[in-house]
Every structure is written in C-alpha cells, then in structure tokens.
Amino acid sequence: MKSKRVGPPDGGYGWVVVASAFFAMGLTGAVLKNIGLFFLDIQSHFGVLTSTTSWVSSTTIAMFHIGAPAASALTLRFSQRVVIVLGGVLCTLGMSLASLDINLPWLYLTLGVLQGTGISFSWVPAISMVNHYFSRWRPIAYAIASSGECVFAIVFSPLFKWLIEMYSWQGALLIIGGLQFNLCVCGALMRPLEATRAPHMNLKESAEDSAAALPPKKKAVFQCGLLKKPELLLYILFAIFAAAGFFTPTLFLVPFANSLGIDKYWPAFILSVMAVADLAGRLFCGWLANMRLLRNLQLLTIVTMLLGVVLLLLPISHNYWSVLVFASIYGFLFGCMVAIHVTSIVDIVSLEGFDSGLGLFMLFRSIGGFLGPPAGGWLVDKANNFSAAFSLSGFCLVTSAVFVVVVDRLIQRRKSVEAAGHQTIHYQGDGETGKIEGLIIAQES
C-alpha cells in the first residue's frame, strides 16, 4: 500500500505557502521594523524621556517573542492556518485600540501586548509552514518568504511617514491596523500538511519523511525537554545577546539621523535603503546556504561578527552619506543573519522538534529584545547622544557570535561520536577455505 504523500512537496502548493508567508512577513516584521518612525511623535506627545518611550517598542518586541511558545503550541494543537488568522485579528485590534490615544500605559497594552502577540501568532506559524513544506530548497524558500519583510519595509518607511504627517500618528496607527487585517487572508491560504507513511519504504526514507512531515496529532505536543540539549541552551544565549543588539539600531537610527541635522523624508529614505540591502542579504545568503559551501552555523558566525563590527563603527558617521553607507552594510548583513538563524534550529533539534525549538528560541530571545532598547535609551539619556546605543548593540552582537562557534563545535563533535557509534562490522567466514571477509556499514546520523 502506497501513501499519498512521502515527505515535503518541495514545490507545488508549497510556493503558494511561500507567497502567503511573504505577505505575512511583510505585514508583521516590516511593521515592527518601522515602529521607530512613531518614536519622536509619541515622545513629544506625552513629554517623556527617551528610555520611557522605548518601553512601547520594547514591549512589542518582548510579546513578539514571549508569544512564540503559545503560537507553537496552538499550531501543534490546531493548525498554522487557525493561528495566523487569530494573529491577524489581534494585530488589527491592537493598532485600532492604540489609535484611541488614552495614555502611555494604554500604548504599552495595545501597541505593545496586543500587537506583539498578534505579530507572534502570525509570524511563527508562517515560518513553520515554509519549513515543513520544503526540504531540499528550504534555505532559499525561507529566504524568499522572509524577504517580504524587506519589500514591505521599503514601501512602509515613506508610507508611514506620510500617514503620520497627513493623519497624525493616531490616524496612521488605525490605517496600519486595517492593512494588517489582511493577515487573515494569508492564514486562509496555509493548507495544512497531513503526515502519511508508506510501508514499502526503506528505513532511511521513512525516517527522513516522518521527520519532514508535520507530526500526527497524537504526537503533537510542545517539547520542553529540548532545553536539556546543551546546544540549544547555548543557541538561546546567542539569541538573547543578538536580540539585544539587532533590535536597537532600527529604533534609534532615525533619531540619530535627525540629531545630525538630517530631517524631513531623508531619515525614512535611509530605512528604505537599509530594507533594500536587507532584501539583497537575505536572498544572497539563502542562495549561499543552499550551495552548502559552508555549514549554516559557520556562515551565521561570520555574518553576526561582521554585523557587530559595523554597528561599533556606525557612530563615526557625521553626515548623511556616511550614515547611508553604514546603514546599507548593516542592512545587508542583517539580512544574511536573518536568512539562516531560524533554519539553523533544524540543525540543532531536527525538523521534528523545530516547532517547539522555535517557540523556546523566541521565548528566551525576548529577554534581549525586551532589555536591549530600554538599555540603549538609558545610555542615550546619560550620554546625551545616540552613539552609545549603537556601541552597546555592536558589543552584544560580537558576544553572541562566540556562542554560535561553541554550538557548531558541539554539533560536529556529536555527529562524529554518533557516526562512530553507528559503525557495525560484520564478518563472513568460509569454513572450508578459512577466508574471512569484513564489511563495515556506516549509518548516517
């Protein structure tokens, strides 16, 4: 008896899933990336310190990560489709209620908690769906899907600025909430995969396809036990430091440009250029990862280290063009990092544990995302310039790269031990001639 499907489609309707995830990434990640455009308006409206205003975006980022385990658990319990639709409703509700402009704590609740949770519930299942639909082409499929964040960011940067000037920041939030309601359409296009098995398949094919397919409902449980893996724990430390580093620059880049005397639409244009570079980085690194010239974790170490160095050097910029150059390099390297840092989780916990691993990864990464922006804002208030925030970000990213090196070494050592342990020597002897033949069979780990 043959099964109807053996393993990931690696194409077909999978490309519809990629297209849907592309729009989902744009309506979530691009909005989060451009939230800094509201920073100065909200700060001046309420007349508070930079660090106090930072808690709005910090709460959004934190809830984006904290909601990931719940999103993963709901995905395993129901389906990606249901959770993405729910995320779209929460995003729209958060933006709409935030536009009421009651007080600053109200923004913490609506623009922070509701919007952040909605983004998480839309982002995590979309990423999960792409990874389950593809195996061979997974790196490039994920790169294309995640590039939606960049394409939308290119459009959203000047659009949000224009909306703020035309309708005030309150009206802009209401309109953006309406746009995010399209996440429900993205969710409706996510057709769940059903895990099937073929009895005639050999052991290796059966193991690969079972891991690649979505787990059967009776086994669809959130695996907290993955935290016992030292590789995942170290990768979580990488996530914490990296999140503290790469969320801060997008928040303070526009105010930094304004502090140099650059005003009007030019700061928003810098974000658009950075988004173009981000797009190029994601597609380039996705293609490079698919070439298998370097291991994913090796590639991640290189781009993370370079990203940290660029941020450490960014404060030397003193005019528009130098800021633009550094922002472009930052955007390209950021795109390279984003293209592989999530798919690398598969190398650590396998695809069978990917949903749970992603949820845990995002949950603990919230620590860095929650503390990074306020810490940067506090340094800005103390030093009275934005350079301190970029220096902090660069230091955190360089530190995070060290953990990736250790994770890669542990994984390679584990694979070597498993390969040696799976080698079995079989001897066949001929009783008449006394001839002995040896056969060594090595099974793949």
The DSSP-derived string for 84-138 is HHHHHHHHHHHHHHHTT---HHHHIIIIIIIHHHHHHHHHHHHHHHHHHH-STTH
CATH assignment of 10-194, among 3.30.379.10, 1.20.1250.20, 3.30.420.40, 3.40.50.1100: 1.20.1250.20
Share of the chain above pLDDT 70, in %: 84
Displacement of CA 191 from its chain's centroid (Å)? 22
Nearest in space to 252 (alpha carbons), one of 164, 337, 375, 429: 375
| CA distance to 54, 57, 161, 265, per residue, from 165 (Å) | 21, 20, 6, 11
Task: Please give the CATH superfamily to which domain 223-425 belongs.
Answer: MFS general substrate transporter like domains (1.20.1250.20)
All residue ranges of the chain with pLDDT < 70 are 1-8, 194-220, 262-268, 422-445
Q: Is the separation of the CB atoms in 14 and 138 below 8 Å?
A: no
Dihedral angle of Cα 300, 306, 310, 311, to the nearest 10 degrees: 50
| CA distance to 78, 187, 190, 193, 251, per residue, from 24 (Å) | 19, 8, 11, 19, 22
Largest CA-CA distance found in the chain, in angstroms, rounded:
97
- Helices 148-180 and 80-98 pack at an angle, to 10 degrees, of 70
Reduce the DSSP state of residue 222 to 3 states and report it.
coil
Q: Please, what is the end-to-end C-alpha distance for the chain in angstroms?
A: 28
Displacement of CA 95 from its chain's centroid (Å)? 22
Whole-angstrom Cα distance, residue 204 to residue 315? 53
Q: How do residues 190-245 score in pLDDT, each as one tens digit?
A: 988 765 444 444 444 444 444 444 444 445 577 778 888 899 999 999 999 998 88
Residue range(s) of every CATH 1.20.1250.20 domain in the chain: 10-194, 223-425
Nearest in space to 56 (alpha carbons), one of 77, 73, 76, 40: 40
| CA distance to 121, 187, 335, per residue, from 287 (Å) | 28, 27, 12
Residue 438: enclosing H or E segment and its boundaries? strand 436-442
pTM, full prediction: 0.71
Sign of the CA dihedral running 71, 73, 74, 79: positive
Q: Using alpha carbons only, how large is the chain's radius of gyration in Å? A: 23
Whole-angstrom Cα distance, residue 44 to residue 294? 48
What number of other Cβ atoms are within 10 A of residue 142's Cβ?
Answer: 24
At 179 the pLDDT is: 93
Whole-angstrom Cα distance, residue 68 to residue 332? 26
444: left (phi over 0), alpha (psi -120 to 50) or beta: beta
Length of the chain: 445
The structure tokens 């983004």 sit at: 119
Whole-angstrom Cα distance, residue 271 to residue 250? 8
